[in-house]
Structure 1
């Protein structure tokens, strides 16, 4: 269990943040309150508590932040799954693991408070990793590298904006097979040029979760 939702029985909404969504052209996405209102009105209209999606999605929403557009090769390919839900929603470890690293990535449009777990892969005989972004700052309290978490144990909570990197409340969940020497952070979005490389390093998180109906 990653979140307190039963994705086998509870209805959820797949949210599209690519250029194929005409709504996005009419919104000022740099205004987080406007962005948040849009997300949660969509959930309310659908009668659901959580929106899901985004793996390998070519998104336009990152154009709101210079954090993703610092050169001529902007990062717009999303490498994780987002779970859009109310701030304060608890987040649980989907597998047993230890804390690899953690950090408050506090740039506008960044992850905000972030936890990265390391898991043992007995088949590959090497560790793999999972990232949890946009948490509350209190989620980082009491953490230390090497701290263990059991499967299903609470990691933290989905954070409010601007504490969460200034996004509508959601969890960014991502898998990595290689940390590339990084700690407390890992690209959650890549450029079109680097898409194939990063999709190899960051396999679909839904392989762990098994949520039916995700693109």
Structure 2
């Protein structure tokens, strides 16, 4: 999960299905420079047997006390989920 901040505010990006090696040199608060490689796709044995791929999600807000952000939700939480998750077409 990365926090992106500029003069007008911030948003968050979530990167899923990465290699465990990606965690080795990353930590909360680490600064990532534009263009810097900071993660790698996980192999099938790290992704429940799925071929290597990236799960990418954009969000307005993230409860930083959590360790993850749900990628699916119940119907009762759908409106809040849709309001918080950004459309990547905007970017």
Give the corresponding residue for 1:131. Answer: 14
Please point out which of 28, 46, 54 is paired with 1:171: 54
CA distance in 2, matches of 1:185, 1:165: 17
Q: How many equivalent pairs are there? A: 91
Question: CA 1:119–1:158 in 2, change beyond 3 Å: closer, same or farther?
Answer: same
Corresponding residue for residue 120 of structure 1: 5
Higher strand fraction (1 or 2): 1
| Aligned equivalent of 2:66, options 169, 173, 183 | 183
Match of 2:86 in 1: 203
Q: Map 1:74-153 to 2 at 5 A.
A: 116-123=1-8, 125=9, 127-153=10-36
CA distance in 2, matches of 1:167, 1:135: 12
Runs of 4+ aligned residues of structure 1 deviating over 4 Å after TM superposition are none
What's the TM-score, normalizing by structure 1? 0.39
Structure 2: gaps of 5 or more residues = none
Is 2:42 the partner of 1:154?
no
Distance of aligned partners of 1:177 and 1:183 in 2 relative to their CA distance in 1, 3 Å threshold:
same
Cα-Cα RMSD? 1.7
Cα drift, residue 165 of structure 1: 4.4
Structure 1 residue 182, shift from structure 2 partner = 3.8
Larger radius of gyration: 1
Q: Which runs of 5+ in 1 are unaligned?
A: 1-115, 209-215
- Assess, with a 3 A threshold, how the Cα gap between structure 1 residues 140 and 171 changes in structure 2: closer, same or farther: same
Give the structure-2-normalised TM-score.
0.84
Please state how far the C-alpha of 1:166 moved relative to its aligned partner: 4.1
Cα deviation for residue 144 of structure 1 reads: 1.6
Identify which of structures 1 and 2 has the higher relative contact order when contacts are C-alpha pairs closer than 8 Å and 6+ apart.
Answer: 2
